[in-house]
A and B are shown apart, each in its own frame.
Chain A
Amino acid sequence: MTADAGRPASEPTSDAAVVELSGVAKTFGAGPDSTTALTGIDLAVRSREFVSLIGPSGCGKSTLLRLVADLIAPTTGEVRVNGKTARQARLDRDYGMVFQAPVLMDWRTVATNIELPLEIMGYDKAERKRRSADLLRLVELEGFAERHPWQLSGGMQQRVAIARAIAFDPKILLMDEPFGALDEMTRERMNVEVMRIWQETGTTVLFVTHSIPEAVFLSSRVVVMSARPGRISRVIDVDLPRPRTIETRESEAYFHLVTEVREALRQREGQPVGPDDRDPTSTDRIRAEGYA
Chain B
Amino acid sequence: MAVAVPSAVRASTAGEPGGRPSRRRRALGIGIVLLGVLVAWELAKWLGGDPWRIHATIGGVPIDYEHVPPLHWRIADDLSLPHVWDVVRAFVDPAQRNGAPLGVVLFGQAMFTLREALTGFVLGALLGLGLGILFVHSRLAERSLVPYVVASQTVPILAIAPLVAVAVKADWLSVMFVTAYLTFFPVTIASLRGLRAADARAFELFRSYAATRRTTLWRLRLPSSVPYLFSALKVAAAASVIGAIIGEQAAGVGAGLGSAIITYNQYYITAPERLWATIVMCTVVGLTFVGLITLVERLFMRGRYRPPEVAR
Contacts and interface: CB of A to CB of B under 8 A. Distances in A.
Nearest to A182: B4
Given A90-B207, A93-B209, A101 B304 contact: no
B196 to A, nearest CB: 16
Contacts of A152: 7
A103 B304 contact: no
A106 interface: yes
Interface residues of A, number: 37
Contact of B215 (A95, A107, A109, A120): A120
Interface stretch (A42-50, A143-151, A219-227, A243-251): A143-151
Contacts, number: 92
A105 interface: yes
Contacts of A96: 208
A20 B108 CA distance: 74
B295 interface: no
Contact of B304 (A70, A106, A120, A154): A106
Interface residues of B, number: 31
Nearest to B223: A107
B5 A150 contact: yes
Contact of B2 (A69, A102, A174): A102
B7 A103 contact: no
B26 to A, nearest CB: 24
A174 B1 CA distance: 21
B6 A153 contact: yes
A91 interface: yes
A102 B209 CA distance: 16
A106 B208 contact: no
A145 B3 CA distance: 18
A253 interface: no
B104 to A, nearest CB: 43
Interface string B225-243: 0100000000000000000
A288 to B, nearest CB: 29
B61 interface: no
A106 B199 CA distance: 12
A106 to B, nearest CB: 4
Contacts of A121: 209
Contacts of A117: 209
A101 B3 contact: yes
A69 B14 contact: no
A106 B204 contact: no
Interface string A144-186: 0001111111101100000000000000001000000100000
Contacts of B100: none
A71 B199 CA distance: 15
Contacts of A120: 206, 209, 211, 215, 219
A55 B223 CA distance: 37
B36 interface: no
Given A71-B207, A116-B219, A101 B11 contact: no
A151 B201 contact: no
10 contacts: A105-B1, A109-B303, A120-B206, A120-B211, A121-B209, A148-B305, A150-B10, A154-B5, A154-B7, A157-B5
Interface of B: 1-8, 10-11, 14, 199, 201-202, 204-211, 215, 219-220, 223-224, 226, 303-305
Given A90-B210, A96-B208, A102-B3, 17 more contacts: A69-B204, A71-B207, A71-B208, A90-B208, A91-B210, A93-B210, A97-B205, A105-B1, A105-B202, A106-B1, A106-B304, A106-B305, A107-B226, A120-B211, A148-B2, A151-B14, A154-B4
